[in-house]
């Protein structure tokens, strides 16, 4: 629970870039013995610095050709509407991320689908599920994914 030193930061940066490295490989990066790398990594994990380790799949390879970011503004801000919205988001596999916003819109959704038809279908279902919106504006990136960078987060 203490402060992180330079070795910890190097470890975190390393596993954030590549999470399946062996202790020996980590050892060469952070300049620490393999044993110590393992120990510190375990401590970082139990202390909650590492949320989890996941595989990033290739969207195109799986037929995911459209990644859309959609701003959603709810007409009513009562509990009922919010609950319906949350429920829909929770159940929809196409919605990969859901962020609460301040400003013009209430939520920002990140949606991954195969084609425009699926996207339209999703939006349609969302509208009917919640029962109409004051504003629904979609910013669709038509195969126009420039890049998705995941840079090391340093404290």
Partner DNA sequence: CCGCTTGCGCATGTTTCTTGCGCGGCGATT
Partner DNA sequence: AATCGCCGCGCAAGAAACATGCGCAAGCGG
Q: Which residues of this chain interact with a copy of itself, rule CB under 8 A?
A: 12, 15-20, 47-59, 61-64, 67, 69, 71, 89-90, 93, 95-105, 107-108, 112, 138-142, 144-155
CB 100 within 8 A of CB 115: no
What backbone torsions phi and psi does residue 81 show, to the nearest 5 degrees?
Answer: -60, -45
Q: Rounded to the nearest 10 degrees, how much is the dihedral formed by the CA atoms of 58, 59, 62, 68?
A: 180
The tokens for 34 are 């393999």
The item of DNA, a copy of itself, none sharing an interface with residue 33, based on CB under 5 to 8 Å by kind, is DNA
The residue (of 33 and 101) whose beta carbon lies closer to DNA is: 33
Residue 36 interacting partner from DNA, a copy of itself, none (CB closer than 5 to 8 Å by kind): DNA
Report how far residue 152's alpha carbon sits from residue 140's, in angstroms, rounded to the nearest whole number. 28
Pattern 19-58, binding to DNA, x per CB under 7 A?
---xxx-------xxxxx-xxx-x----------------
Report long-range pairs for 53-57 (Cβ below 8 Å, ≥24 apart): 53/15, 53/19, 53/20, 54/19
Q: What is the smallest separation between the CB atom of 13 and a copy of itself, expressed in angstroms?
A: 9
Nearer of residues 8 and 94 to DNA, judged by Cβ: 8
**Residue ranges in contact with DNA by CB under 7 A:** 2, 7, 22-24, 32-36, 38-40, 42
């Amino acid at each position: 629970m203490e402060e992180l030193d330079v070795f910890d930061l190097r470890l975190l940066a390393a596993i954030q870039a590549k999470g399946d490295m062996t202790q020996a490989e980590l050892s060469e990066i952070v300049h620490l013995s393999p044993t110590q790398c393992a120990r510190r990594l375990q401590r970082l994990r139990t202390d909650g610095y590492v949320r989890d380790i996941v595989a990033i799949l290739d969207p195109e390879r799986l037929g995911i050709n459209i990644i859309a970011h959609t701003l959603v503004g709810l007409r009513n801000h009562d509990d009922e509407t919010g609950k319906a919205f949350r429920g829909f988001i929770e159940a929809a596999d196409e919605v990969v991320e859901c962020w609460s916003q301040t400003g013009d819109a209430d939520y920002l959704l990140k949606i991954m689908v195969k084609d425009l038809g699926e996207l339209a279908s999703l939006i349609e279902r969302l509208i009917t599920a919640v029962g109409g919106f004051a504003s629904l504006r979609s910013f669709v990136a038509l195969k126009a994914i420039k890049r998705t960078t995941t840079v090391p987060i340093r404290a």
